[in-house]
Amino acid sequence: MRRAIRSCFLLFTVLAVLAVGLLAAYWLATDGQFWDTVQTAILRIQLNNRTRDLNAPIGSGRDPVRFVIPAGTGAGAIAAALAEAGLLQDVELFINYAIVEGYDRRFEAGVYFLNQTMSIKQIAEILTDSSKSYIPFRSREGARIEELAVLIDQNRLFGFSGADFLTLVSPGAVLPAEFAAWAGIPPGASLEGFMYPDTYQLPPAISAEGLRDTLLRAFRERVGDDLREAARAQGLTLHQAVSLASIIEREAVWRDEHAMIASVYRNRLAINMKLEADPTVQYGIQGARGAWWPQITRADYHDVISPYNTYLNAGLPPGPIASPGLSAIQAAVHPAESGFYYFRAACDNSHYHNFAVTFDEHLANGC
């Protein structure tokens, strides 16, 4: 009996030594990550019972939330920040899922746009590649810089405010010297008119200065040197041409009328006749009536005291009143040839205009 017990003890000892040896070998083979592997295996078993929770959104809100991962942030801190932002309920579940799937080693510093309809699985995957994040932004034709500032605030994806943007583009701001010289912008003037209207996909970490420079770069690329030189050959700086183009943009609904409306204003300028453009009166009100482009009356033609009011002041206004598109700028520099000095809206609600050579003809075009 003693011999049998001794044999069993010896066998147990040998097996124990072998087991320890195997564990030690596995430990070395996995570079000391044995217990991590065991933990991951246990977590994976636990997560098998949480599939529904992993795939469930936290809510129904689709409004994008700007979420920033600073460099060096770990899974725990990311989970806590997600919960604080209202994008996550179960912090521990997120961390465990990130560990099991290896996301905790793949999370990438950057800016992301998330919403409450995303599940833990979706969020974890998104947070591994910030290059797929971008801010959609539409700068439309005929908008003032103040309206762009409103769009920035409404977008909610920018890391700066509309007020921050306005400090860089309003009168008195320090403008990019090279662009100002190229466009012929007078000292102290704003960048009104040069925020090129287009649809943009912007990097998520863009600054107010970056947005300004992006819009200016688009303007210079689209307008180009040829159009600027054509304006200069006619005695106009690009700033003056854009000032006229901005009026054309606000007056016209249809692009195919740009060149003809431009001809009216160029004809008036040629004989030192006042432009008498309603949008310049609206601009001169400066939003004092609760809208940037309010309805005006005939009394406003003389009561709105502003250097921009072309009923009171001859020639072009001091600067652009809005952002014109390329079509309006081309029309200002290359107007149609006509003998017209007047135009007014047609009576058929088509938003086209009737043109006239004389004031009597202009009156006859009234509705």
Taking the C-alpha atoms of residue 235 and residue 238, their distance in angstroms, rounded to an integer, is: 10
- Please give the backbone phi and psi of residue 167, each rounded to the nearest 5 degrees, phi first: -65, -20
Taking the C-alpha atoms of residue 30 and residue 36, their distance in angstroms, rounded to an integer, is: 10
Q: What is the pLDDT of residue 20?
A: 47
CB-side neighbour CA atoms (13 Å) of 187: 0
Q: What is the pLDDT of residue 133?
A: 87
Work out the number of other CB atoms within 10 angstroms of the CB of residue 78: 24
Helix axes 145-155, 162-169, angle to 10 degrees: 150
Q: Please say whether the beta carbons of 153 and 141 come within 8 A.
A: no
SS3 345: strand
Classify domain 46-132 by CATH architecture.
2-Layer Sandwich (3.30)
CA distances from 65 to 26, 121, 154, 326 (A): 45, 17, 13, 34
Q: What is the pLDDT of residue 47?
A: 72
DSSP-assigned letters across all residues of 74-143: -HHHHHHHHHHTTS-S-HHHHHHHHHHHTGGGT---EEEEE-TT--HHHHHHHTT-GGG--EEEEE-TT-
Ranges of residues in the chain with a pLDDT under 70 are: 1-41, 43
**pLDDT tens-digit series, residues 47-92:** 777 888 888 998 898 888 899 999 999 999 999 999 999 999 999 9
Q: What is the pLDDT of residue 3?
A: 56
Delimit the CATH 3.30.1490.480 region(s) of the chain: 46-132
pTM comes to 0.79
Q: Please say whether the beta carbons of 66 and 57 come within 8 A.
A: no
Closest Cα to residue 190, out of 208, 205, 176?
176
**pLDDT tens-digit series, residues 248-286:** 999 999 999 999 999 999 999 999 999 999 999 999 999
Taking the C-alpha atoms of residue 319 and residue 281, their distance in angstroms, rounded to an integer, is: 13
Q: Please say whether the beta carbons of 145 and 169 come within 8 A.
A: yes
Work out the number of other CB atoms within 10 angstroms of the CB of residue 100: 18
